[in-house]
Amino acid sequence: MRILFLIHARQSRGQEIFACQLAGHLEKLGHTLKVISLYPGEFNLPFPVVHFGLTSTKEIWSPGCWRKFQAFITDFQADIIQANGGDTLKFAALARILYPYRGKLIFNNAGVLGYYLSNSVQKAFYKLLLKNFGGHVFKNTCYSLWSRRNSGSFKEWGA
């Protein structure tokens, strides 16, 4: 399989380290891997990372960047594209909506996405984005649902 991991930046954080470690293991099993960071960074991760070229968070809203991403995916012929957290979710989904590309899109989130959704517009936007993914991995879901229900502040947002 040809697998692309999309990470935020070359930084020493959980999602980035996890994606690079998993890429290394999958490569040993014979898969073809690429790890792409949206933004620059200086940390030496345990797998080679190619910087996609974004320098500002505003650029995730650029159709030109989405087209460039679609061309990269098409050239690499990815079977799986895994977006790892935050901006990678928005970027990969928006690129797919405007410039469709082949390959199964998966979202891996180690945090609690619902904490960042404070109004119905945000919830509807993320619901639209998540519909473009073929799979979701929410690592803290069980604990976060339990803790929010028991604190009296849990709100179902339906994504």
Tokens of 121: 């517009």
- The reported pTM is 0.77
Nearest-angstrom CA–CA distance, 119 and 130: 17
| Per-residue confidence (pLDDT) for residue 157, from 0 to 100 | 37
What are the domain boundaries of the chain?
A: 2-150
Alpha-carbon distances of 158 from 56, 105, 123, 126, 151, rounded to whole Å: 30, 20, 8, 10, 19
What is residue 81's predicted lDDT score, i.e. its pLDDT?
Answer: 92
- Rg from Cα positions in the chain: 16
Task: From first to last of the 159 residues of the chain, give the pLDDT tens digit.
Answer: 999 999 988 877 778 888 899 999 999 999 999 999 999 988 888 889 999 989 888 888 889 998 999 999 999 999 999 988 778 888 888 888 888 888 888 888 766 566 667 788 878 887 778 777 776 665 554 433 333 433 443 333 343
State whether residue 137 is helix, strand or coil: strand
What integer pLDDT is reported at residue 45 of this predicted model? 87
| H/E run at residue 143 | helix 141-150
- Cα 104 → chain centroid: 12
**Superfamily holding 2-150:** Glycogen Phosphorylase B; (3.40.50.2000)
